[in-house]
Amino acid sequence: MEKKEHPVVEKKKISPDKCVVTGKGSWYFPLADIYETADNFTVLIDMPGVDSENITVDMRDNELIVNGAVSQEAYANEKVIYSEYNIGHYHRHFVISDAINRDKIEAKMSDGVLSLVLPKAEHVKPRKIEVKAE
Amino acid sequence: MNLINWDKKNPLSSLTHIQHEMSDLLDFLSSAHQTENYISAEFPQIIVSINEENIIVRAELPGVKTADLNIQVVDEVLTIKGERKPATETQKINYLRRERDYGTFARSIMLPERVDIEKVAASYKNGVLTVKLPKSAEAKPKQIEIKRV
């Protein structure tokens, strides 16, 4: 595998026109990868600092809504002297089409990365049609 | 593509979207000289904090395995090295959207005070690396008694 230099990650703040931002603290737009395999779509979302208990994944109508809350408790007795990134909650939503089997969506959190596995619905999976000789 | 962008619902919103992208870009360019956030073009981004006993360096490294991380302290310089690996799947994968990046990184930080190298501890939880560096005895504040003569 080719090695490459890691570029800078810039946190994008959610601007109020894109969705209604309510609640305490700032909200950020987490970076996500979406890829497809033969049976599933997988969404990987970077949400560093979020505990698996503080993540909610909701399916509402056509939307898959991901919220992650971060805690800043660790900083309570510390004085920040240099800071390059902002800490805030994460929110992102995706519109899901009929191609996904909504009952079988799975979510897993590990090392600050949320992975959502969206299984393809039967009707979109590639199928071979046999040609009958007459 | 089966995952439809939220903004596509309203045909006019793509125009608003462009407008906001432009204004974000302008904000970014004009803030480049002012805020600390964009000075460093380094990965990982860090936050350094202190309390009475320790210097604490935190870095957001989601999805990096601890085995792929290498942390060193030499004198007053902390070095964080590592590699973030892309998603591994047994079957063939086809990317539809790619925002997260991967690759090798290395970064050195000059610490504000001398630290006790023997007692440096690092932990990794939920994608955040925390390096706790206890201040060395010489760097801690010392109470000086005043003698009456």
Residue B7 backbone dihedrals phi, psi, to 5 degrees:
-65, -20
Of A23-27, B79-83, B123-127, least confident by mean pLDDT is A23-27
Per DSSP, what are the bridge partners of residue A43?
Answer: A34, A116
DSSP A13-72: EPPTTTS---SSS-EEE--EEEEE-SSEEEEEEE-TTEEEEEEEEEEETTEEEEEEEE--
Is pLDDT above 70 for B3?
no
Which of the pair, A27 or B71, is modelled with greater confidence?
B71
* Residue in B24, B64, B104 closest to A5 by CB: B104
Round to whole Å and give the CA distance between A19 and A24: 15
Is pLDDT above 80 for B33?
no
B50 touches chain A (CB under 8 A): yes
Nearest one of A100, A103, A69 to A87, comparing CA atoms: A69
Nearest one of A39, A53, A44 to A100, comparing CA atoms: A39
The domain limits of chain B are 10-39, 41-88+102-137
Which CATH fold topology does A24-124 show? Immunoglobulin-like (2.60.40)
Tell me the nearest-neighbour CA distance from A16 into chain B, angstroms: 11
Cβ–Cβ below 8 Å for A48 and B37: no
Q: Determine how β-strand B103-110 pairs with β-strand A40-46.
A: unpaired
Question: What pLDDT, on the 0 to 100 scale, is given for residue A8?
Answer: 59
Name the band, by pLDDT with cuts 50, 70 and 90, for residue B52: confident
Mean residue pLDDT of chain B comes to 82
Which of the pair, B109 or B16, is modelled with greater confidence?
B109
Is pLDDT above 60 for A16?
no
Name the band, by pLDDT with cuts 50, 70 and 90, for residue A123: confident
Cβ–Cβ below 8 Å for A49 and B3: no
Per DSSP, what are the bridge partners of residue A119?
Answer: A40
Mean residue pLDDT of chain A comes to 84
Q: Say which residues have a Cβ less than 8 Å from residue B46's Cβ, sequence separation at least 6.
A: A82, A84, A85, B57, B58, B59, B107, B109
pLDDT digits 0-9 by tens, A43-96 = 999 999 999 899 999 988 888 999 999 888 888 888 999 888 888 889 998 998
Cβ–Cβ below 8 Å for A8 and B112: no
- Class of B41-88+102-137 per CATH? mainly beta
Cβ–Cβ below 8 Å for A32 and B24: no
* Residue in A7, A94, A110 closest to B3 by CB: A94
Cβ–Cβ below 8 Å for B40 and A84: yes
- Give the residue from chain A lying closest to B60, CA to CA: A48
